[in-house]
Copies of this chain bind each other. A is one copy, B any other.
Amino acid sequence: MRAVFQQELSEVQSRLVELAGGARTIMQKASGAFLNSDVSMADEALALADSHEEKALDLDELVIKILATQSPVAKDLRIVVSALRMSASLERMGSLASHIAAIARYRYPGTAIPDALRGTFEEMSKLDVELADKAVELLKNTDLNLAREIQAQDEAVDLLHRRVFDTVLAPDWSENAMFTVDVTLASRYFERFADHVVDISAKVSFLQTGEW
Contact = CB atoms under 8 A, between A and B. Distances in A.
A169 B181 contact: yes
Please tell me the size bucket of the interface on A.
Answer: 20 to 34
Q: How many copies does the complex hold?
A: 2
Contacts of A165: 181
Interface string A174-195: 0001101100110010000000
A81 interface: yes
A64 B75 CA distance: 11
Interface in A32-82: 64, 67-68, 71, 73-74, 77-78, 81
A77 B81 contact: no
Contacts of A90: none
A88 interface: yes
A81 B84 CA distance: 9
